[in-house]
Amino acid sequence: MVQSSGVILALDQGTTSSRTLAVGLDGDVVASAQEELPQIYPHPGWVEHDPRAIWSTQLRTAGSVVAQLQGRPVLALGITNQRETTIIWDRASGEPIHNAIVWQDRRTASTINALKADGHEETINSKTGLVLDPYFSAAKIAWILDRVDGARAKADRGELAFGTVDCWLIWKLTEGRVHATDATNAARTSLFDISRQSWAADLCALFNVPMSLLPEVKDCAADFGTTKLLGSDIPIRGVAGDQQSAAIGQACLKPGEAKCTYGTGAFLILNTGETRINSANRLLTTIAYRLDGKTAFAQEGAILTAGAAIQWLRDGLGIIRDGAEAERLAASVDDNAGVYMVPGFTGLGAPHWDADARGLICGLSRGATRAHLARAALEAAAYQTHDLVAAMCADGAMIECLRIDGGMAANDWLAQFLADILALPVDRPVNVETTAQGAAILAALGAGIVASIDEALTLWQLDRRFDPCLKPDQRSELLAGWNTALNRAFTE
């Protein structure tokens, strides 16, 4: 970006935290703030957030960053967010009618299974590019409307609004003046026709979702209104789901370029350009970005549990203090001693899509230690990534290198193991905050500060390349053990 004293504010609302970063026009992060977001688990397989907490944590971090800037001008604001998470609120009061149902949540599995049994998956896949799974928003919307007293009647009268997290934040930032989302988030609802680039009335009818709930869908760099809540009028000009935003921040702008972001889950996106590839291996076809009305498509594989497995070792079992200790423990043992973890805490994502799969640890012997458990949790992220890459290659992709980002990307041991298991080079950028950087680039584009998304190419810098060094027979042996463990996690 051009040199200037101004900054772009990037709101990065994730599954476990709300963050705000001020990004200079040279791409450097000049200020940041973060707050943890409480998780709510009402029943096994259910995951919720309080929408008020999403808003309050995000607003506080934004206010903190603006204060750190000490008067340095904010030129525009971009938003990137956890996707699929579903919020419904009252248009008049602005109050949510239920907790947000998080993307990980599996409570709508019976609804999804009934739709599959009735033969609807092919139609849904052909229009949305998505598989039928509780992961996506549509069934979550219907679940809330069916269980909150009076909600359906209010929805029919046009008194309620639905939004993914970006849409909720835009509504709150603009004090109810703007009800809008972007194409990448709309594409994750199971209600958006990605070829026609519009809400699909027949899918809304199938899921029993009134169209009056739905927001306007805009390009990723567009006018999403102005917020007056941060000390000055700040235009909101860029929005994208977190994984698409990370792909932009990783400069994956050409067909064949791929990135994987490792956070609570892990998400691999392969840019396919103007070509929509319909997967034969249960990968998702989605929107990489939409600019000036022109859509770039992507293939995506979703891992439901990656960093969350490390959190479980810390919070559930109490055997590690943090992710850095998991890395040290994994490196302290020569091998995995036959111990495998399948982290199916909320089912398994692509390419398996088994909502009823459950987590397991197998291969334990008396010699197994907490170091082997830590190693198994990290290895599981790599094995699941391998399954996604293998599915993409089976669909005809040619992936020559994988770019990684997210919190787990700082783990050298994991990055090397990824390269070994994938038998591919793994590149880590200098700035692993690529999700926020993508949102900042979109906001700068929407505000006219930069002329092209190609600005991402000038900001991306390589920190380290990890080359594979594992012998083929060792790799095959490890993958065989993983497949044995994986098969045990599947439901009958």
Residue 341, classed as helix, strand or coil, is strand
- CA–CA separation, 237 vs 210, rounded Å? 28
> What is the per-residue pLDDT across 251-300, written as a single tens digit (0 to 9) for each?
999 999 999 999 888 999 999 999 898 888 989 999 999 999 999 999 99
Nearest one of 327, 321, 267 to 298, comparing CA atoms: 267
Residue 475 pLDDT level (bands cut at 50, 70, 90): very high
Length of the chain: 492
Please say if the pLDDT value at position 222 is more than 90: yes
Its pTM stands at 0.88
Residue 451 pLDDT level (bands cut at 50, 70, 90): confident
> What is the per-residue pLDDT across 39-86, written as a single tens digit (0 to 9) for each?
999 998 899 999 999 999 999 999 999 999 998 999 999 999 999 999
Query: What average pLDDT does range 345-363 have in this prediction?
Result: 87
Cβ atoms of residues 244 and 446 within 8 Å: no
pLDDT at res. 491 = 62
- CA–CA separation, 109 vs 132, rounded Å? 10
> What is the per-residue pLDDT across 182-213, written as a single tens digit (0 to 9) for each?
999 999 999 999 999 999 999 999 999 999 99
Nearest one of 159, 144, 155 to 91, comparing CA atoms: 159
Domains and CATH numbers, the chain: 7-240 (3.30.420.40)
Query: What average pLDDT does range 458-477 have in this prediction?
Result: 94
In 395-433, which ranges are continuous DSSP H helix? 412-422
